[in-house]
Structure 1
Amino acid sequence: MTTSETTGNRSATGNMFVLFGFLIREGNLLRSPVLAFAVLASFTRSGMIYAINTIAAGASLALGNVALLAGCIAATLTFSHLARVASFRLVETTRRRLRMQLSRKLLNARAGFLARNDHGKVYSIVTQEVNEISHASVNFIESLEAALLIAFCIPYLFYLSWPSGLATLAAVGIGGIGYLVAQAPAQASAERASRTEWVFFDRVNDVLRGYKELRLRQARKAALQSDIDDVATRERSLKLVAERYYSLGQVIAQGAMMGLLCMIVVGLPLFAGTETSTVLQILTIVLLTYGPIETVLGNLSSFSRAAVSKYLIDQLERDLANDAETRASGPVADRTAFRSIELKGVTTVLSSTTAAGGDESFTVGPLDLTLTPGEVVFICGGNGAGKSTLLSVLTGLRHPDGGAILLDGTPVAEADAPAYRSLFSAVFSEFHLFNRLYGLTEAECDALPAHLADLDIDHRVGIDDGKFSTLALSTGQRRRLALSVALAEKRPIIVLDEFAADQDPVRRALFYDVLVPQMARDGHLVIAVTHDEHCFDKCDRLIRMEAGRIVSDTRQKRAERQAG
């Protein structure tokens, strides 16, 4: 992969400027005390160097010079301490802002975004890349303090000996050029290493989520382990390549500084005729600024890594912005009732990549369907018939590519989706249980224990301080727990995708004969995907789907169904 392929239109140097602008903007450096502390620390350290040289040149311990030296040392230590504490605060503030910003954008993205993107990529960016940038903010303050000290001392070097000032500028310049030479290939390798790390996180996710399947087949377990080893090895190799380039830049910088010291100790007396006392003064300045110069040049590799992280975060944020839901202009109130939901000519195009590398699409629809409160609607059909896509469109998780959804006769625009979705509670085939009762009102929390009892799950799970006592349950128990939350929400529409598939015969009968009729009597529209043909007579409407179309919509009188 070439540099242009990995960094897109942004150059390596451009990445750095973007990073610095971000650190200054997000850290509020122009108003933060950390900048003042860094300036004062550099100024007092310069004063310390001046005091040392003054005492050495005068060969006397004048009280004023000694007091100046002691005061500068004390002030330097104090301001350096304050700058480090403020820098740590800046690190945590930057990390918190980035994580909050990314999590907010993830929550505001369309539901299909995470369905299409690898979770390892998102997890790595929100954790690893954010950490890289937040740590760079400390290095930024350190480098700023060191650069200010160098800026204060170089004029002093020119005052003592203009060749020494030129030599110092040349050493810093050579070190900077060495870094620039190594920066572009180093950033390219670092970015490829980060992308490889995304794959590693995906493989870890496979280990955590597929632990049962892995233990049933040793060959699968060994193959996954081999893949993890391969990914980890590739990541290591790419990071080593990046580090070689970063190290090359630092070696050039260190060589320039060593040459500077040799020039001062040997070159100035031999070729410039500089007096020994002046050479000692110059040497004192260079030795006391040697560390800060190394800090500035050494931190360039840290900034380069952080620039790659910022580039990857920016890419994710652009993707999230392009896939963000259209937001309503004002606050959205939940809908508590509806008269009808109508699908008119709704179509949805599903795209996928074939084994040969080509693209293929599958169209669900056009779908025409009208739903009203109090109905029990069963949906059946083979795999790939479009049932799950229908549920995604119907619940507002996916905006249709064609046609319209009408709520009480009014088309549902994308900006109306949050209010429209508030009509639904759902237990999808692939559902997620939160251990905390996020978003539930006090009344809903109070109603939850009764639903736990109705679903025969209260002996396994309790509620303590707004969270479930355990989620270590069987699949069927977890599904009943999810339904208890859905019932407690008292939404007008309840969607259940293959709910009875994981239940034993007794609880399956409880679902079809007790729970579903009770939900309908309570005024809920119940929409259930099911393959239990022997229970098809327990619904008001049976919708069959094939090849993305509704092929039949059979209605039976509710009284007949209840009598049956």
Structure 2
Amino acid sequence: MEIIQFFRQETNIPIHRVITVGIIAGFANSMLLAIINIAAEQVANSVFEVQLFVLYVIAFGIFAYTQRYLMIRTTTLIEEIVRKIRVRLTDKIRHCELRFIEESGQSDFYAQITQQTSLISQISLQMSLAIQSLFVVLISLCYLLFISPLSLLMAIILLGISIPIHVLNNYKAKEKHSIVAKQQTLLFESVGNILNGFKELKFNYKKSNAVFEHLQKVACLAESAKIEATYVEVTLMTFVRLSFYILIALLIFVIPAFFESYSGEVFKVVATSLFIMGPLTVTVFYIPTLNLANITIKNIYALEDKIESHLDSQERDFAPFTTFNSLQLTDVSFSYKNVDGSESFFIQNINLSLQQGEILFIVGGNGSGKSTLLKVLTGLYYPSEGTIQLDQQLIERTHYYNYRELFSTIFTDFHLFNHLYGLDNIDEKRVHALLAELELNDKPRFINGQFTNLNLSTGQRKRLALLITLLEDKPILILDEFAADQDPNFRQYFYETLLQTLKTNGKTVIAVTHDDKYFHLADRVVKMDYGKLVAYP
């Protein structure tokens, strides 16, 4: 079973301790049964022994302690494992190649790291109860052997008939839960489409209805899959109860008719059987949860294997490049691949040189390859052909991990962090000065190393991102259509003052822009046209 291998693989804590405590809890529970049977028989004969009461208290104390220990230990163990998995998966994701993240989308990552691991977390209490209940059943069967071997034989025969049927239905339940897990991931993706595309849907009623209809369809499929899985589970539990009551009927009505000596043991046998019913029901009741946990674990490991196959295997010891004089791209090409391996878009034969302290503007129409060029230039994509040289040194894949440290970037789909991660000894006076310089002093406040308000316009968010890149103080600044969302006054300040100050300070600025009014402020202007770098008039 996946869950057994899961515990062996994910923790160094000996599982046998939990199992041992489960056995003790089961034994103590069964001891309570034996003491109750004996005490009930003595009461019927008007006999009372203090020793039995003392044994009852001792057994009860052992049972209460071991049950509490088992629940706490199991919960602690599982929560530790869940934390390790979440951290490990996230760590591997951040070391993947960008193309894998772009192609995979975010829904599966979110679902596995949050929802799926939460399911594992939820089984901790159920698992401890199931372990304890299982041992109670086993030890109680041993007790049944002691008081009536014939009754145990009947129970074994009935179990021999029931178990194959149970296994078959359990297999069907696992298949149904696999379908449920897939449908829930699709549903999560559909909800994400509505939330992430909220503005777009507000402007297109027909599109909004179509997206919602798709969500309804996915929700109905998820509902049907869940109902089918539940139907199999209910059938399983009903069958177990039915089998148990058949056993009770055999023990009370059938066996005494053929074995007279058995009559004196009926009370103990029935009491024991009824006692077993509770733990047996609990064990069977949690089998669907166990199935779901197995499926969840299988999905998580499948995702982890997928991530590992796309890790940036060229990452080495961290020794970042911090300065440069020249950067040269020679005959560089890159292509996006379709599912069938064919090329969907490419940039090709790019020859571009950069110098320290240079301001370079890149122009071109939508889809011309500007952003793709920037991703290749910054090392987010590996060129399929051509070379990149830094100060006449060839940049191999083993260098990319450190080569990327030359750049601070603001892409069109940038993410804004509210905390200044990765910056030590932050000069708060400089932060406040930059907030004023970038006309943000009335918006976000910088308190305790983080910005308190990110509810800003797109242009203001870009300025805040620019503030962070200025604090990072990297040699090369990449700005992808930064000025497009700025007001005319700040746009003028950006081109005529800010960029010139960066140039004076020895920074290299590469900006994608369409503001031809300010092209004269750049050292050079180049153009991307259908994936090729061409001369700009």
TM-score interval (norm. to shorter) = over 0.9
3-state SS of 2:286 partner: helix
Aligned CA RMSD, in angstroms, stands at 2.2
Task: Please state how far the C-alpha of 1:379 moved relative to its aligned partner.
Answer: 0.9
Q: Residue 414 of structure 1 corresponds to which residue in structure 2?
A: 397
3-state SS of 1:275 partner: helix
Give the Cα separation in 1 of the matches to 2:342 and 2:315: 34
Map 1:353-502 to 2 at 5 A. Answer: 360-443=343-426, 447-502=430-485
Q: Residue 282 of structure 2 corresponds to which residue in structure 1?
A: 295
Counterpart selection for 2:330 from 344, 350, 370:
344
3-state SS of 1:422 partner: helix
Counterpart selection for 2:24 from 40, 57, 60:
40
Task: Please state how far the C-alpha of 1:208 moved relative to its aligned partner.
Answer: 2.3
Task: Please state how far the C-alpha of 1:509 moved relative to its aligned partner.
Answer: 0.8
Give the Cα separation in 2 of the matches to 1:242 and 1:57: 45
Give the Cα separation in 2 of the matches to 1:277 and 1:347: 90
Q: Residue 2 of structure 2 corresponds to which residue in structure 1?
A: 18
* 1:342 aligned partner, one-letter code: Q
* 2:489 aligned partner, one-letter code: V
Task: Please state how far the C-alpha of 1:493 moved relative to its aligned partner.
Answer: 0.6
Q: Residue 177 of structure 1 corresponds to which residue in structure 2?
A: 164
Label 1:519 to 1:97 Cα distance change in 2 as closer, same or farther (>3 A).
same
Contact between 1:90 and 1:138, CA under 8 Å: does it hold in 2? Answer: no
Label 1:301 to 1:31 Cα distance change in 2 as closer, same or farther (>3 A).
closer
Give the Cα separation in 2 of the matches to 1:315 and 1:474: 40
Identity score, percent: 29
Give the Cα separation in 2 of the matches to 1:83 and 1:207: 43
TM-score (normalizing by structure 2): 0.93
3-state SS of 1:46 partner: helix
Give the Cα separation in 2 of the matches to 1:191 and 1:225: 25
3-state SS of 1:238 partner: helix
Label 1:346 to 1:272 Cα distance change in 2 as closer, same or farther (>3 A).
farther
* 1:79 aligned partner, one-letter code: T
Give the Cα separation in 2 of the matches to 1:219 and 1:394: 40
3-state SS of 2:511 partner: strand
Task: Please state how far the C-alpha of 1:171 moved relative to its aligned partner.
Answer: 4.2
3-state SS of 1:443 partner: coil
Label 1:169 to 1:134 Cα distance change in 2 as closer, same or farther (>3 A).
farther
Q: Does 2:493 match 1:507?
A: no
Give the Cα separation in 2 of the matches to 1:398 and 1:446: 37
Label 1:344 to 1:358 Cα distance change in 2 as closer, same or farther (>3 A).
closer
Task: Please state how far the C-alpha of 1:24 moved relative to its aligned partner.
Answer: 4.3
Q: Does 2:262 match 1:275?
A: yes
Contact between 2:71 and 2:124, CA under 8 Å: does it hold in 1? Answer: no
Give the Cα separation in 2 of the matches to 1:444 and 1:227: 51
Contact between 2:357 and 2:507, CA under 8 Å: does it hold in 1? Answer: yes
Give the Cα separation in 2 of the matches to 1:138 and 1:416: 48
Contact between 2:335 and 2:343, CA under 8 Å: does it hold in 1? Answer: no
**Gapped regions of structure 1 (runs ≥ 5):** 1-16, 555-564
TM-score (normalizing by structure 1): 0.89
Task: Please state how far the C-alpha of 1:398 moved relative to its aligned partner.
Answer: 1.4
3-state SS of 1:432 partner: coil
* 1:426 aligned partner, one-letter code: T
Q: Residue 8 of structure 1 corresponds to which residue in structure 2?
A: none
Q: Residue 295 of structure 2 corresponds to which residue in structure 1?
A: 308
Give the Cα separation in 1 of the matches to 2:332 and 2:517: 30
Q: Which moved more, 1:431-440 or 1:209-218?
A: 209-218
Q: Does 2:55 match 1:55?
A: no
Give the Cα separation in 2 of the matches to 1:305 and 1:19: 10
Task: Please state how far the C-alpha of 1:266 moved relative to its aligned partner.
Answer: 1.8
Give the Cα separation in 1 of the matches to 2:490 and 2:203: 29
Give the Cα separation in 2 of the matches to 1:271 and 1:412: 89
Give the Cα separation in 1 of the matches to 2:102 and 2:302: 18
**Gapped regions of structure 2 (runs ≥ 5):** none
* 1:540 aligned partner, one-letter code: D
* Cα displacement string for residues 61-89 of structure 1 (whole angstroms, at most 9, x for unaligned residues): 22222221221122212221222222222
Counterpart selection for 1:248 from 228, 235, 243:
235
Contact between 2:74 and 2:127, CA under 8 Å: does it hold in 1? Answer: no
3-state SS of 1:45 partner: helix
Q: Does 2:87 match 1:100?
A: yes
Task: Please state how far the C-alpha of 1:172 moved relative to its aligned partner.
Answer: 4.2
Label 1:263 to 1:422 Cα distance change in 2 as closer, same or farther (>3 A).
same
Contact between 1:125 and 1:313, CA under 8 Å: does it hold in 2? Answer: yes
* 1:302 aligned partner, one-letter code: T
Q: Residue 138 of structure 1 corresponds to which residue in structure 2?
A: 125
Give the Cα separation in 2 of the matches to 1:209 and 1:440: 30
* 2:60 aligned partner, one-letter code: I
Give the Cα separation in 1 of the matches to 2:9 and 2:140: 28
Task: Please state how far the C-alpha of 1:237 moved relative to its aligned partner.
Answer: 0.8
Give the Cα separation in 2 of the matches to 1:519 and 1:544: 23
Give the Cα separation in 2 of the matches to 1:256 and 1:334: 69
Q: Residue 6 of structure 1 corresponds to which residue in structure 2?
A: none
* 1:278 aligned partner, one-letter code: E
